[in-house]
Structure 1
Amino acid sequence: MAKSQNSSRHEERRLSISCEIVEYSVPSVIAAMRNHSGNAFFSHCFTLVNRTLKTTFRDPILNYARFFEHVIVGVLIIMLYSNGIGNESGCFNTESSNESLATISMDKIRNIQTVVFQNLGFIFFSMIFLLYASMMPVVLVFPTEMSVFLRERTNGWYSCLSYFTAKTIADIPFLLLFTLIYASMIYYFTGQINDSWRFGAFIGVAMLVALIGQSIGLVFGTLCVKNLRAASFLAPLVPLPFALFSGFFIRVELIPSYLKIFTYISSIRYVIELLVIIIYGFDRCGYSSIIEDKESINGVIIKFFNYLTKLDLSYTSARPILYALAVDKNLSLNEISSFDVHFENFTLPEFNLLGFDENKSFALQELNLNDDNLWFHTWILVSTGE
């Protein structure tokens, strides 16, 4: 009797297990594993982020290399630009000892132009460096992890979106930390303007550039997953056309019309212009010291020079006339020769003084920028970084 009852219980248990097996058949298990609902998405991302961070801390060599790369390049930049190139505001404010005397110095204009362009070169290089420094590690590492991703994705453990989101989130802390270290070093040690909001905006733009570089790295790491050599060759080439049409090497308005479309899609152009606005805009020059309702002497001189420029008259072309007049008046020619040092190689168009504004930085006038461009350029970069 007891044996019969035990046999009956075993049979019931077997039937129960069979029912469970039927209930949780292979298709149902696969369907459950491929459940990529909203809750599952966040759960998958959390798990993948934790796994990626653990892997990073177990093998920190790459991040150590990235850290020292940013520090070493930052130190080299500081050593190269230790003369405080950021101190020059690029302003042509009137120099005057009183309200009735004002002067304009051609040597000062040349010096302002030189220092400002050096600072623009510093900005350009720094942003290109951050772009490549954030792009190349992703390009080189991502293809090596793709085999694991494909196997787990085929098994339905998580979606592609979960994986790429987690991969990006896990790398962001290191990306932003290295960018913050580099940007903080170079900003103050190169003599950039000591203004908290400008410094914060500079850091923000640098971080956006790093995120753009990371995005480019993910794209080419995915496209060239089976060929690491192709990825490492193609990815560095992509930013170069954007740099060419950034307006740094040739002014945007001078680019042929059939090529201007590339200037509108160049993220590097918006980066450079945004940083120029941040550093040189928003009343960086202040206002002229000349009394209101009086036109400064500098302004009158510049307008006169602009008028001569419209007549295609330069010092070189006018010198023979001045020489003949001096001979006719029996004046010493030494005085004319003394002007040669200052004016002989001077041409107004190369300094972009047409439409001159004493209260606006030379950098803004050269790139034809205004403070109002700040928010549009910021929106473009944020959209690109996303």
Structure 2
Amino acid sequence: MSVHLPQVRIPATYMRGGTSKGVFFCLSDLPEAAQVPGEARDRLLLRLMGSPDAYQKQIDGMGGATSSTSKAVILSPSTSPDHDVDYLFGQVAIDRAFVDWSGNCGNLSSAVGPFAIAQGLVDTARLPADGMAEIRIWQANIAKTIVARVPMRGGEVQETGDFELDGVTFPAAEIAVAFMDPAAGEGAIFPTGNVIDELHVPGHGTLEATLINAGIPTVFVRADALGYRGTELQEVINNDEQALAMFEAIRIQGAIKMGLVETPAQATARQHTPKIAFVAPPARYSASSGRVVEAEEVDLLVRALSMGKLHHAMMGTAAVAIAAAAAIEGTLVNQAVGGGEREAVTFGHPSGTLQVGARATREGAHWHIEAATMSRSARVLMEGWVRVPWTP
């Protein structure tokens, strides 16, 4: 006997934030069973995105079949007087029935402020009719503060403009985003206490790695140690199953070394964190758009993997990790930029370049990053209702 699930109709907004896209919800608009964390909410978001999909296309859902486009955001008025809105992010797996709530999406963070303003979640007394609205965001996944500066015009969010972001075809209005105190936990920027560790990776030998927890837990390795130049585009890595298996093996050992998991099986199930990236000194290369990036334009090259694939640009949270690691002498990222003290770097990624900033200070045995900053843009793509075959 066939089962006929009802189509649930839920108010939603489809937004681009940075180089990612996601479905945004107000918590109060979700079905009652999905307003609390748990199995019902996860089932709703999985079916919404069209996961799990053995074809890995997410045709029967809102997902775009990449890690950058299989994302959900849930917002609510903040319970803290120091914040305007509480922001919860879910990375929805494509081929598995799993929603990862362990980290943030730095790119979609730039869309949180505009959505919160449009949905009336921000006190109107704090919003200028024209000028810059400073939105204080509580990132609930990682218990951190994000401050977004959102341009306003005529009492509404200004979305269009001339700010260009590599990885996004069309210009838009610039949104400056500051990730405050981005390390997770006191003194935990380097979970092992070292700026460089040795990772013993079965089948691949021993590699030097910088294991940093800023923005999102990230494993940095040197490109040349893996036989790469740091100029690679997506197809070079993503069409090479052996390369993907190697990066996953490194990521798994990094996750264990950082204390995020205890076993390889746990690391395999938790693909969203940590990220893995490889770095190299500046070099000339052609970005995926065909634009030539000259070596003189960048301080270093970085390529990063998300959800098991090389990212088409750079995850926002990984950009925070890059900024923090570049600012701290001795890390592999700092070595790639030539060493010394750095408060801002421009790095080359597959789609072009990005400038990020961070200032590091040392407090006893621990490093501290007050804030990591970058500019992104955001835009509403569609708003209305999503329909999802689902029952509590």
Specify if TM > 0.5.
no
* Greater relative contact order structure (CA < 8 Å, 6+ sep): 1
Larger CA Rg, structure 1 vs 2: 1
Q: Give the number of the structure whose residues are more often strand, by fraction.
A: 2
Scaled by the length of structure 2, the TM-score of the pair is 0.28
Q: Give the number of the structure whose residues are more often helix, by fraction.
A: 1
Scaled by the length of structure 1, the TM-score of the pair is 0.28
